[in-house]
Chain A
């Protein structure tokens, strides 16, 4: 099994899907599914392999290469796994929509180009795949049409282009200095470079990766893009695409520059890692409070994606093996639960006729139990409730922050988690709990193919939460590949001198205690199941759906924090965009595109010249 074949299948599959769609929609769907499945099988066969190979074709005398190692494998498996689930989910979700050939082909193409970025062995092919990813993502964000979706797409592509350009400058700078773009060779050369150039390259690359990872202050494209994209694609965006930024940071900080170089780039307390960590901390808190104020189910999730990116950056920038494992594990966990949550939000949207407004939903637990369980487990993972996967990774991050003497960063991380609890509960309550509005009385459950990804991801959250050793052993290998000391991972958790985490003890205790309480409730308590209105109105008829407390769920809190958590960065960027727009508008008034006008300009100019010559005769 080779990486070239993997890439070939991914890219070829995307094109072939489009062609097959012209023949028959059924054939296209089957092929897209098969292609995504084949890719997952192929990547699992590549587990544990490590090699680098030059591609037969070069570019302007530069050698292009692909490689495979634990870092690439880890990211590739999340990309292809979520890609497969997203295709399964799309089968019903996207049915009867327009331009489906285009949709499936672009979806697979984005997956292929993301795969390309993580297996690229040199910066040129990395850049090419990166650009392919940016452009195709833009196309799919705006798929739904309408001014909002187009605006979201434009916002994304403008920021993404700025990122690409800074990256291009950095790549050119590296090439001019070292005459090679192979990542492995650069890693050796970079050690001998000057501090100035190292910093220059680092900052330029970081801008790119921070933009795509949507960290504050470059987060502004994400909430719009994720909310406006179609749900299966929102899942891909949130779960894997934004994390390409972290892959870039890993590559840049640890695979290329390495510890010694990073350690040298410090002036007192002001070091690259510190700045990155504080950006992460600000992102966490800001995003948590912004998410709290949203009323759109997908927008809440989009802001949570922004915030969770902060946790990963915190873990990565602490640069101990614990923090690194926490950050890396959190990438995997986030990808699982956020995809699940977007699938759930999409299912709600699908069954209620496109409603995402949290103020008008409610009481759907009895109508859509699978979606409820998925949503609840997903939110628990997002919060990091013990026995879900998010708990383990967050525990690792907190612990490394506390033990490294970074209590203020830890404080930001904890506070962000409490924000998450508030908006997480709001998400669950406003959609599933409370009273069922009359117009949703006949809402049906989730169709089978949409339920499959939801169930798979729900199970994974528990599995990785109770047996964290399974994913952690892979995460640990990523760490050792990047030069960190190996963690002593057991299947139940992490034993260590300074504080053990044993999740199975927790599970056992909770199971026993829960069982005992349940027994007491069953054995002693006698209960009858009654309708919701029964006790509330003591059997009298009440206008149902009228007493649903959702609007302004946390309004007293909004009144306090609202004035302080305005997104002034977004407003600033939009203002710049507005100014640019008006400058261009003025220019357009001069360059009208009519030949007549240009002729008039020329004649006026000549007339002025003649006038000057006649009046003062300077020539």
Chain B
């Protein structure tokens, strides 16, 4: 019993401290200082929540920029259970999937013979990647411009507005937020219709 008391009491007190007090303090600070961010970085359109800035969504309409393939099930970009494909590099299923995705891109944009950037046809680690590379956006600019009857220059302007560079010029990779880009393009249409 001599050994048991300190073990139980220290365990109980450290649990109070690290399991209850610590997360409550962090939650308090977060809700006060970073309210939007700690609640999921939700994007609003009017009073409707249309997505999270940090979570990607699936797109297959040619008028939208397409996100990366997602391996979540049963539907892609399922926020309830994140997942990668876990396909190994020589798994034949990977090569088949990549060929199918290239075929879908080509079918939506006949005549575009540019090589497809690798990130646009490989599944992300989370299945929720909100970004594509600037190269993958560039690949889709002509298609989106044609379907939307916009000039490529205007589409590129929208892409540039949704692009983040490397942090401090060094960290990470340049990237385009697909949901923000598509929402901005759709908003332009809405604005024109309103006029």
Q: Do A and B bind each other?
A: no
Q: Which A residues are closer than 8 A to B by beta carbons?
A: none
